Amino acid sequence: MIVARSADHPVLTAPLTVPGAAAAPRTGVERRIPAVDFDDHEGVAVVATTRADGDAFTPAGPARPATLLFRETDLSGASAIEVETAREGDRAVGGRLEVRAGGRVPAGIDVPVTGDRYAWTSITAELAAPLHGVHDLSLTLHGDFRLSVFRFGAAG
């Protein structure tokens, strides 16, 4: 545990023990996972899903990729991924989502222009090979698009 005036100025630290069983891995197949449920991130900006509410993510600067990390995700049987994206940008800039699990890149998705930052579309991509087991999952956003939700599907 840390007591601090701010993230840059810790005042006190002490070990914290939480009794009980360790948390089970996150279910990653046949379940809608909001991007906001990430465990760690790098280079992302939080943006609105609609004009009224909701959280989505985009790279803080389109020239640099942004990554969302989802630790210990059970991807057993995953054979496809569906993502919800919005992209108002110029087709010349490009938008691509890279999916990484277990040191492999089972999918790369080219993100189409939807015409508006609030015009969402679902894109489905087959994985290069089915996934098995628990992995740290990372989604890397390249370009000028927004990501709100994703879901892995199983064959059949």
Please state the rounded mean pLDDT for residues 117-122: 96
pTM metric for this prediction: 0.85
Query: pLDDT tens digits, residue range 56-96?
Result: 999 998 789 999 999 999 999 999 999 999 999 765 668 99
79 vs 99: CA distance, rounded Å: 13
Q: Which CATH number fits domain 22-154: 3.30.2130.30, 2.30.30.40, 2.60.120.260, 3.20.190.10?
A: 2.60.120.260
List Cβ neighbours of 70 (8 Å cut-off, separation of 6 or more): 26, 28, 33, 37, 38, 39, 136, 137, 138, 139
Alpha helices per DSSP H over 23-123: none
Mean pLDDT for the chain? Answer: 91
Amino acid 40: pLDDT: 96
Residue 84: per-residue pLDDT: 97
Residue 156 pLDDT greater than 70, yes or no: no
- E-strand spans in 1-156? 2-6, 9-13, 26-27, 33-34, 40-42, 44-48, 55-59, 66-74, 78-86, 95-101, 104-110, 120-126, 134-143, 146-154
Percentage of residues in the chain with pLDDT exceeding 90? Answer: 72
The answer on pLDDT for 135 being more than 80 is: yes
